[in-house]
Amino acid sequence: MPSERLNLAVIVGSVREGRFGPVVANWFVEQAEQHGEFAVDLIDLADTDIPLELPSVPPAMQPDPLRPSGMADLTRRLKAADAVVVVTPDYNRSFPASLKAAIDWHYTEWRAKPIGFVGYSGASGGLLAIENLRQVFNELQAHTVRDYVSFPRYYLLFSPDGTLLDPEGPEGAAKVMLDQLLWWGSVLHDARRDRPYVTSQ
């Protein structure tokens, strides 16, 4: 297990106007910081210009992909992460295009790292997006942890200042997921250091 705290990237996946994602992400960042085992980096995809059009040779097929210069900071932060939590709504029974583009522009940055999810939406609480994302990250050779945090009808659950009206259940779910991310993140951190991940394309 690494002697220092694990680097945890928390990604706000929605970029559309009026999004609720930052409220949910800020709440989760507080949970992760209170957990005490993570150095938390909040990444808002709205702060990065992420082209939807990929190059003719996808980043997954290039040993050193050439990305737009405006994406350099995002790439650096993803590479530094030992674990990732994606905060996502449901869009038409799936997840936002902005999130898919950010994922597809990267490859080794996800590989052999644990991924957790915080979902929110009107009915499913983001579960439809989460199930789609599990398949995507599996293809990228990341490990998605079993437990998640979900906020169905999120607009009824948070007060205007961004605090939860009934925090006990979500806080417990966040603790369970963070414990799983800590275990997998520690094991995979050491494995990547001691036995570099090698795969053929």
Considering just the CA atoms, what is the radius of gyration of the chain in Å? 16
Q: pLDDT for 13-29, tens place per residue? A: 999 999 999 999 999 99
Encoded amino acid at 54, one letter: L
Q: Residue 165: which region, alpha, beta or left (left: phi > 0; alpha: psi -120 to 50)?
A: alpha
Q: What is the CATH number of domain 6-194?
A: 3.40.50.360
Q: How far apart are CA 76 and CA 73, in angstroms?
A: 5
Helix (H, G, I), strand (E, B) or coil at 11: strand
Q: Hey, where are the domains in the chain?
A: 6-194
**Residues sharing a CB contact under 8 Å with residue 112, sequence separation 6 or more, in sequence order:** 141, 142, 143, 188, 191, 192, 197
What end-to-end distance do the CA atoms of the chain give, in Å?
A: 30
Give me the tens of pLDDT residue by residue for the chain, a chain 201 residues long: 455 899 999 999 999 999 999 999 999 999 999 999 999 999 999 999 999 888 888 787 777 788 988 999 999 999 999 999 999 999 999 999 999 999 999 999 999 999 999 999 998 999 999 999 999 999 999 999 999 999 999 999 999 999 999 999 999 999 999 999 999 999 999 999 999 777 654
Closest by CA position to 20, among listed 117, 154, 128, 148: 154
Q: How far apart are CA 142 and CA 164, in angstroms?
A: 31
**Residues sharing a CB contact under 8 Å with residue 129, sequence separation 6 or more, in sequence order:** 88, 89, 90, 91, 94, 95, 117, 119, 121
What does each C-alpha distance from 110 to 45, 64, 65, 81, 128 come to in angstroms? 16, 15, 14, 9, 21
pTM of the model: 0.94
